[in-house]
Amino acid sequence: MLRPSQTKIIATVGPAILSVEKLVELIQAGVDVFRINAAHGKIDSFAANLALIRQAEKEADAPIAVLMDLAGPKMRLGEIEGGELDCVQGEKIRFIRGKTSPQKNWLTSTYEPLVDELNVGDRVLMCDGLVSVEITEKGKDYVEGVVVQSGVVRSRQGINLPGVKLSVKSLQPVDIDNAIWAVQNGIDYLGFSFVRTAEEIDELRDILVENKPAGKLLNTGIIAKIEKPEAVENLEQIVLAADGVMVARGDLGVEVDIAKMGVVQKEIIRVCRAMGKPVIVATQMLESMTHSRIPTRAEASDVANAVFDGADCIMLSGETAVGDYPVETVKTMHRIALETEKERAKRDDEQEPMVPCFYDDSEYTLLRPSSLVACAMAEAAVNIADTTEASAIIAATSTGRTALDLAQMRSTASTIGCSPVLEAARRMALYWGVIPMYLPEAKNYADIVAEAKKREYVETGEAVVLLTGQNVFKDSYNAVAVIEVQ
């Protein structure tokens, strides 16, 4: 059976791919999830992008998940006279209150408490960490420092304050408005930027539950973006509270020592794998392909390394949003993933056992591993598939939790996630190795197998393991069975 890569691919939507035809082309090239970046645009543009994605999903006849990243409290420089400033090593730079700069080398910020929260010895990083200023003096309405790493900064560029405890909330008012729109309009996952504690995730989930469509269960998952040192310190609690995690290497790579970045990435993936939560590796994966038809060797190795580590998803940002070669980039990432997965399958590395997570409130459990029974059934299905050399495990699930359990067990057999609920089928597009199938009319197991055969996921004579949860269709129950495709 010809199948897509088991490691899922996320592509960011932007001007380079904003047509149904281009989106379909990307789906056919290997995209499983489209990302809408709420830092660029407003609700009108989000709605237009979502409509294009849903039309492309329909034309491609494949469930596609949509991840919308909340902007969070991004700190930026204010306006600089002339638009830019050359920061020379050894020169002094002053950060002042207010919105206008009275003289050269005095900079303002969109983050009002900046002067209050910086102290002597702190570092201010600008231009994605390329320019660094160490604070040497603090006054009532300013802080002053010396440039230790030179470069050119421009108006509205981002600021990072590694090691500085910030008072700003991770959820800004615009983020709350966007989250409410997202849960009411069928967004499958929300990326929570600059999250620092598990309590912040609970706060966002309360907002989603309160504003979800009346009479429906919560269908929007929360992806915690690990971007701050505090998030790394609270990693296990954050992973436990979230529905997935993103290794957001843009800001994280600036906030932590660059020498530790690789170690931190591996640790985040390890914790997510142990707790059974999907994990995404993002930022600069194939960045050179924004303007080149081929990646650098280092980028190809970076993608392969994420696959070897067991990431569920790998993400493209500017490469597809504004790049010159979005389709070629996706095809390249897909090829790297496929080749790496072949090698990874040969290795017999010991994996830490998945830890099932339990929650009392049914509003909060939809996207989580559900119970010891469900995990045991999934483990049995994987063992049976290995023993019988089955070509596929077909998981019939109403919520997608059965498929999530299977995904975290990394079976060598193909996993087909079948659901009569469209939202569940879409969510499964994020899960490692799961081919989602939406079957609203399926009445029994035979219907599921027949559709899988029709789509050429399985072939006549192959052994297939069926794993079924409760309430998928009338009289269905927790069961594992092996059949031969007729």
| One domain for residues 200 and 299 | yes
Alpha-carbon torsion 438, 439, 445, 451, what sign? Answer: negative
* Per-residue exposure over 18-50, b if at least 16 CB sit within 10 Å of its own CB, e if not: eebebbbbbbebbbbbbbbbbebbeeeebeebb
| One domain for residues 278 and 189 | yes
Is 377 in a helix, a strand, or coil? helix
| One domain for residues 66 and 205 | yes
Which one from 3, 54, 74, 76 is the annotated catalytic residue? Answer: 76
Which of 257 and 43 is assigned the larger pLDDT?
A: 43
In the listed set 143, 160, 177, which residue is the last one of a domain according to the structure?
160
In terms of residue numbers, what domain contains 444? Answer: 369-484
Q: What's the pLDDT score for residue 276? A: 87
Q: What is the mean pLDDT of residues 68-77?
A: 91
Say whether pLDDT at 376 is over 50. yes
Q: Are 243 and 148 in contact (CB under 8 A)?
A: no
Which residues are paired to 281 by β-bridges? 247, 314
| One domain for residues 148 and 179 | no
Q: What's the pLDDT score for residue 344? A: 84
Q: Which residue has the tokens 């006549």?
A: 460
Which one from 225, 228, 249, 410 is the annotated catalytic residue? Answer: 225
In the listed set 160, 187, 202, which residue is the last one of a domain according to the structure?
160
Q: Is residue 350 part of a domain?
A: no
pLDDT digits (tens, 9 = 90+) for 423-461: 999 999 999 999 999 988 877 788 888 989 999 898 899
Q: Tell me how far apart the alpha carbons of residues 261 and 435 are, in angstroms, rounded to a whole number.
A: 32
| Local structure of residue 350 (DSSP, 8 states) | P
Highest mean pLDDT among 20-29, 208-217, 343-352, 475-484: 20-29
pLDDT digits (tens, 9 = 90+) for 352-361: 555 545 444 4
Q: Is residue 363 part of a domain?
A: no
| One domain for residues 58 and 179 | yes
pLDDT digits (tens, 9 = 90+) for 82-132: 888 999 999 999 999 988 888 889 999 988 899 999 999 999 999 888 899
Q: What is the mean pLDDT of residues 57-84?
A: 92
Q: Tell me how far apart the alpha carbons of residues 173 and 169 are, in angstroms, rounded to a whole number.
A: 10
Q: Is 283 a catalytic residue?
A: yes
Say whether pLDDT at 66 is over 80. yes
| One domain for residues 269 and 145 | no
Q: Is residue 77 part of a domain?
A: no
Which one from 7, 8, 12, 35 is the annotated catalytic residue? Answer: 35
Specify the CATH number for the domain of residue 112: 2.40.33.10
Report which of 23, 36, 27 is spatially closest to residue 9, judged by C-alpha positions: 27
Q: What's the pLDDT score for residue 359? A: 46
Alpha-carbon torsion 305, 311, 317, 321, what sign? Answer: positive
CA triple 243-249-252, angle to 5 deg? 90
Specify the CATH number for the domain of residue 468: 3.40.1380.20
| One domain for residues 119 and 229 | no
Q: What's the pLDDT score for residue 358? A: 46
How high is the mean pLDDT of the chain?
90
| One domain for residues 134 and 241 | no
Q: Is 76 a catalytic residue?
A: yes
| One domain for residues 415 and 440 | yes
Q: Flag the least confident range among 26-35, 273-282, 308-317, 352-361.
A: 352-361
CA atoms within 13 A on the CB side of 433: 24
CA triple 432-29-416, angle to 5 deg? 35
Q: Is residue 279 part of a domain?
A: yes
Q: Is residue 54 part of a domain?
A: yes
Q: Is residue 462 part of a domain?
A: yes
Q: What's the pLDDT score for residue 426? A: 97
| One domain for residues 197 and 243 | yes
Q: Is 225 a catalytic residue?
A: yes
Say whether pLDDT at 192 is over 50. yes
| One domain for residues 108 and 184 | no
In the listed set 109, 136, 160, which residue is the last one of a domain according to the structure?
160
Q: Is residue 352 part of a domain?
A: no
Structural domains of the chain, count = 3
| One domain for residues 295 and 412 | no
Q: Is residue 79 part of a domain?
A: no
Is 247 in a helix, a strand, or coil? strand
Which one from 12, 108, 283, 320 is the annotated catalytic residue? Answer: 283
The percentage of the chain sitting over the pLDDT mark of 90, rounded to a whole number, equals: 66
